[in-house]
Structure 1
Amino acid sequence: MGRHGVGLQLYTLRDECADDFFGTLRKVADLGYQGVEFAGFYGYSAREVKQMIDEVGLQPVSSHVALHSLRGEELQKTIDFHKEIGCDYIVCPWVDPQLLADTDQARALISELAAIGEHCKKQHVRFGYHNHDFELAHRIDGEAVLHVLYRETDPSVVLAELDLYWIRKGGEDEVAAIRRYAGRVPVVHLKDMEKGEEGFFTEVGTGRLDLNAIFAAGEASGVEWYIVEQDVCRDHSPLVSVKISIDHLKEQGFLK
């Protein structure tokens, strides 16, 4: 198995972070996660965030930033904040699906994401887009918007943060997606799907994901980090769920 890291998307622990951000970061590190992907900073300054992650020993892998904070003057503020905390990968996590229902709006969005990525690249910050399933449902000239986005943008300007749950939910194969975007997918969302008919979120290693195939594809495709995420934890508390996930990864030899 190649060199890679395993991190946690803090959205999974959003309530815990809101109550005690620093304490939650410490618990994440204690569970064995090597890094985190941020989903907001709960009012803390860049200096404070850097002190927290340095103290607990977590790598600031990436950060989900809403589109409105990537526009106009906010973009430079966002870049400066992330550079100060040592996080060089900013990801747009979601857009209004209605923007993709109209071809002209979808193409305008693709152009906007490319411009954001160009601005980030000039300042040595990486930029990527995180998918759900609706980017596979909406189409431009018969092709899924997600694939149009990646085909029509420079791979060094708009990276692909593939969310494996949503790739499968959208009717495509997650392993094939990793291989398709080899070289532009440094971070993957390792999000599992229940085996039942509903296909709800579940802990990594307990659902449908073929971890051996995913990690093999990732090694061949240049994946640097696997980020555990569970949007909703239904059977356990979020902290218990993220422990179950990382314990499975340890047991199967995917955490080095």
Structure 2
Amino acid sequence: MLSRRNFIANSSMATATILIMPLFAFTANKKAIGLQLYTLRDELPKDVKGILEKVALAGYTEVELYGFSIRDKFWGFSPKELKQILDSNGLKAISGHYGLGTYLSDGNTTELEEAIKAAKIMESEYITVPWIDESLRNSADDYRKIASLLNKAGKMCKEAGLKLAYHNHDFEFKKYADITGYEILLKETDKDLVFFELDLYWVAYSKKDPIQLFEENPGRFHMWHVKDMDKKNTALNTEIGKGSIDFELIFAKAKLSGMRHFFVEQETNYKPNSTESIKISCRYIENELI
């Protein structure tokens, strides 16, 4: 195959080179499209190899994992075995949603340490905290304690060559006096240790403006969950581009956000033909957003 260097060096094709250089630049900067595998939670555990092949065929090149446990690993596959399956399909597990056991309640790092080991084997970039149990988030002080624990976990991840991220739902936007839980997490976590995965659906559901979050916290949101909101029923998801969220406006602010990766996701409140649905979302993003 003719290398780009040789191609440019060929003076007889200099004009053609000038014409196609913008296309090369666009391709080089085009972001990969990711999928949070929880979208396929009903099918995936039954046929890990087959479903991951379908994910790749649908156009995705990055994934975000879920479901790891010390006992069962990833649906019965060890991290090494799962990585081999991903590699064979050209997929990279950029991040994983890892339950950290009792860490956020009592500081026990056992499951955090196991998550770090798994993520290292997967050659991931991020360990993402997906959820805070309701019993742990009933006051501003609760969120301050969580922020402190996230900083400690972030330091452990950094020492292991990983990054820690936090994924939101809607409950973080509840106010305690004049401040929300999410504001506390953003303000009291170390920006060099704790990053954020912004779930755009839950931001919209909470009637918050993601652009304002970007402006107030530039560079903090390394990852997004791209999930659309049904136009008739805000409690439901739909394929990207079919709902009410203005993703074109949001994607235009990706640099301000600090976004490096994004993942399409559909949650339990939406029951589509999931393998067809992820194709629809991927095509829309590919054609309209990136």
**From 242, 257, 262, the counterpart of 1:226:** 262
- Which residue matches 1:51? 84
The answer as to whether partners of 2:214 and 2:256 remain within 8 angstroms in 1 is: no
Tell me the equivalent position of 1:62: 95
1:247 aligns with 2:283: yes
User: Normalized against structure 1, the TM-score is what?
Assistant: 0.92
Q: 1:45 Cα shift?
A: 0.7
Worse-matched range after superposition: 163-172 or 243-252 = 243-252
1:9 corresponds, among 15, 32, 36, to 36
Q: 1:77: how far off?
A: 1.7
Q: Does residue 121 in structure 1 map to residue 158 in structure 2?
A: yes
**CA 1:151–1:10 in structure 2 vs 1: closer, same or farther (change >3 Å)?**
same
Q: Which amino acid aligns with 1:67?
A: L
Aligned twin of 1:110:
147
Alpha carbons of structure 1 residues 98 and 138: separation in structure 2 relative to 1, 3 Å: farther
Query: Which amino acid is the alignment partner of residue 114 of structure 1?
Result: N
**Of residues 32, 37, 46 in structure 1, which corresponds to 2:59?**
32
Give ranges in structure 2 of 5+ residues lacking alignment.
1-25, 68-73
Query: 1:4: Cα distance to partner?
Result: 2.1
Corresponding position of 2:45: 18
- Counterpart in 2 of 1:163? 199
RCO comparison, higher one (Cα < 8 Å, 6+): 1
Q: CA deviation at 1:252?
A: 1.3
Which has the higher Rg, Structure 1 or Structure 2? 2
* Partner Cα separation in structure 1 for residue 102 and residue 51 of structure 2: 25
**Runs of 5+ in structure 1 lacking a partner?**
none
Q: Distance in 1 between matches of 2:234 and 2:251?
A: 25
The corresponding residue for 2:171 is 134
Q: 1:24 to 1:112 in 2, by over 3 A?
A: same
Is the 2:130–2:166 contact (alpha carbons within 8 Å) kept by the matching residues of 1? Answer: yes
Secondary structure, counterpart of 2:197 in structure 1: strand
Partners of 1:234 and 1:152 in 2: how far apart? 34
Mark the CA change 1:45 to 1:156 in structure 2 (over 3 Å): closer, same or farther: same
Q: 1: CA distance between counterparts of 2:248 and 2:258? A: 16
Deviation per CA, 1:22-75, whole angstroms, max 9, x where unpaired? 111111000001100001221211110110111000121110001317642222
User: Structure 2: how far apart are the matches of 1:184 and 1:103?
Assistant: 21
Are the counterparts in 2 of residues 101 and 138 from structure 1 also a CA contact under 8 Å? no
104-113 vs 163-172, which deviates more?
104-113
Count of residues in correspondence between the two structures: 253
- Cα distance in structure 2, aligned partners of 1:90 and 1:235: 27
Aligned mates of 1:12, 1:39 — CA distance in 2: 10
| AA of the residue aligned to 1:18 | P
The 3-state SS of whatever aligns with 1:76 is helix
Match of 1:97, as an amino acid?
E
What percent of counterpart residues are identical? 37
Shift in Å, 1:233: 6.5
Query: 190, 193, 210: which one pairs with 2:246?
Result: 210
Q: TM-score, normalised by structure 2?
A: 0.82
Matched residue of 2:259: which SS? coil
Partner of 1:189: 225
Structure 1 position 170, deviation (Å): 1.4
Is residue 144–residue 188 contact of structure 2 (8 Å, CA) maintained in 1?
Answer: no
Whole-angstrom CA distance in 2 between matches of 1:44 and 1:122: 26
Per-residue deviation, 1:177: 2.4
The one-letter amino acid paired with 1:20 is D
